[in-house]
Structure 1
Amino acid sequence: MSTPTRVYLARLAGVAVFDPNGDQVGRVRDAVARLRAGQRPPEVVGLVAEIPMRRRIFLSINRIISIDADAVVLGSGTLNLRRFEKRPNELLVLQELLDRRVQLDPDDRAATVVDVAMECSRAGDWSLARVAAREQTGRLARRGNLQQVEWEKVRGLSGLAEPGGTANLLAVLEDMRPADLANALQDLPDARRNEVAAALDDPRLADVLSELPERDQVEILTALGRERAADVLEEMDPDDAADLLGELPPPEQDVLLDLMEPDEADPVRQLLKYTPGTAGSVMTSEPVILPPDATVAEALARIREPQLSPAVAAQVFVSRAPMATPTGRYLGMVHFQRLLREPPADLLGGVVVNDIDPLRPTTPLPEITRRMATYDLVAMPVIDLNNRLVGAVTVDDVLDHLLPPDWRDRDAVPGPPPEAADGAVSADVSTERADG
């Protein structure tokens, strides 16, 4: 494989990283450059890659034997699995430079950074050599001419960035899963994180908020302003919205609930009434519910809807009308595997299963866990004293509440011990970064 002598880093974001055996290690998330004195362009010392468990590690540029638009390949040697931490004299290129407002020599034309290229010298050293910037033309800044300018001819690349746009950084982040995007947001300074979060559309932001630690959720929601915060809460699943509102003072909860549409706020209000650590507090109030005279074909069509999570779509709950929780009398449930085995025209009432006792809203979490493990279930119904279905507890709800409260906080996840991965954390790799 060959490596070009110039690589635009925004295009490299998200590219898979492979070890010498062809096994994927992770994906590129940023590049690390070391600042140098005078007007000399920063030296690129490595890449930041995200590996499983949302851990970001440093890959020394000296360990990389191939870089292209499809893959980054590492050479032989051990891999440093310590979590990446930026040093004072370092620059995270994509995080800190994309969308930065700069001036282009010789006539101080205002522009916005779209991409940054690193180039390799004959000696094999990489440095930030060129900047792709779009000239600003009043309010139509994005329609200005795109210029490729040498690093030395751009002013405003160092120091604190002024508040600006987010379009180019969002373009780099747009293909990430919500959990990965949430992880990326945790790397940003608070002001930049809030700025990027606010630029996401409501459904996307709702998905990302559900993957963030409670502290970050509250800070972002507060920064949005109440009207926008209420719109985002409406896009969240009721149980996630209830969990987030539960972190706010009761007066603020009431204000936001009043700003939400009544049909979106009502199930959230109900969930907030349940005692923490019970089925009522962790359940979703919007499982898939159909009447007994619905057909197997109708049920299969319903669980194919793309907005349903895998755990929610794994089974259909059957009850008498009304179909919204709290329903009429609960009759039982049908797992999707059973649906696949039955004739499409058969009625759900003829294939429903009700041989496992449902949960009550007051059932404690340890009991829920024990029963789901005993019967190998991914979801269990929750019924009230009148035998009405009020929700369902799914396996992801249980896992979310069994893990430590700060499990989503990337900085709180402990790193692997030095002997992990057959000695994967090695002193020589750390020394490479220190010495460059």
Structure 2
Amino acid sequence: MKTLNRLRLSLFGFALLTTDATVGESATHSWNVVEAGSVGDGKADCTPVFQKVLDEVGKAGGGVVDVPAGRYRINSHLSIPANVTLQGIYRVPPTSGALPADSLTGSVLLAYAGRGSEEGPPFIRLAGNNAAIAGLIVAYPEWKQADVPPVAYPPCIYSENTDNVGVRDCCLLNPYEGIKLVRAARHLVRNVTGYPIKRGIFVDECYDIGHIENIHFWPFGVAYQPENPYCKWINTQGVAFELARTDWHYIHNTFCFGYGIGYKFSKSKQGSANGNFLGLGADSCQRAVVVEQAQPPGLLFCNGEFVGRWSSTNAVCLEIAPGAEGKVSLVNCSFWGPIERCVWMRSRVGQFTASACNFVDWDNANSGSPAIQLDAGKAIIQGCTFNRSKLAVTVESNVISAILTGNQAQGGFRVNNHAGSRTQAELNEKER
């Protein structure tokens, strides 16, 4: 028994030594901006200290730079080296509430550089592979809601020619442009809140799958009124999400409120997008989704919720432009609110499909607009519900093929057909 007790004591002592050694080793590889000399009073310029620590960690091969609670004034710009994370206190997507920049709590970076121009260095550059920021609020103290048009700044967060960069658990409070990623393969943007002004997230030339998840762009820090000049500017000019050339992109569980365009699919010099879009939400948008161009594999939308711009009479939830080539597919999406037309298919060469979708509101000006306007191209509408006793679909003469099957509508499924036999309508609820 004595031998067994000695063995137990020896093992316990060894465990303590091992634990102490581990803690000590970890402590020598931690970095902290306050311990390095930064003052989180919102007055002293912390740029030199922040950048010095970031560079030291980069030279050490990587690590985490901790940003304790405080308001840190950054007069210039920050560059995050490869394998380095700038980490604030938040482990959830933070909110600013209604607090002004000088009253924000938590880990807050105050951005001052670049006011008056979109050109110039970004506030934060993810400069190397695996660079990341997390757990921070970024605020612009010189921002004023009275400035209309809003004052421009360079992007808040930018990365180019990198792999596997990340933005996580951050609030971007009223930046002119939130996040811009160019040739940033396999980026991960997750758990981000805020109210970017001109554009929230932009992606181009992403040739290996990027992920954007759990984003909530909403009027944080803004006294919101639909007809307020600042709010109306964003609600007619701003874009929440824009994808240009990006292959196999994944966007999941995202929401935006009060933008001119919620989700924009554009074409850059390098091309357009294809991808998987699940759980999208666009509320009070003049255009919830605009497809200017898409790759042949197409854009796959599932479980979308789309609402027209408050107080408008000409909002369209999904507009497919005349030159769009790739297929646009909607499954289990819902449309409601102040909408003129839910879908406007304009492409002569494209294809559009809506399956198991719910069209609650449209024609809010009572001008006779249909829920779905098919001007050209090919379309399949199947298994959908139309919850107004109004015109469901208009098929214009330039449509190549329209197949409308298994749809139900209040008062019966009504179609205005100008394409003759190129429209096939079968097994729909009969008009009453």
The structure richer in helix per residue is 1
Using the size of structure 1 for normalisation, the TM-score is 0.28
Using the size of structure 2 for normalisation, the TM-score is 0.28
The structure richer in strand per residue is 2
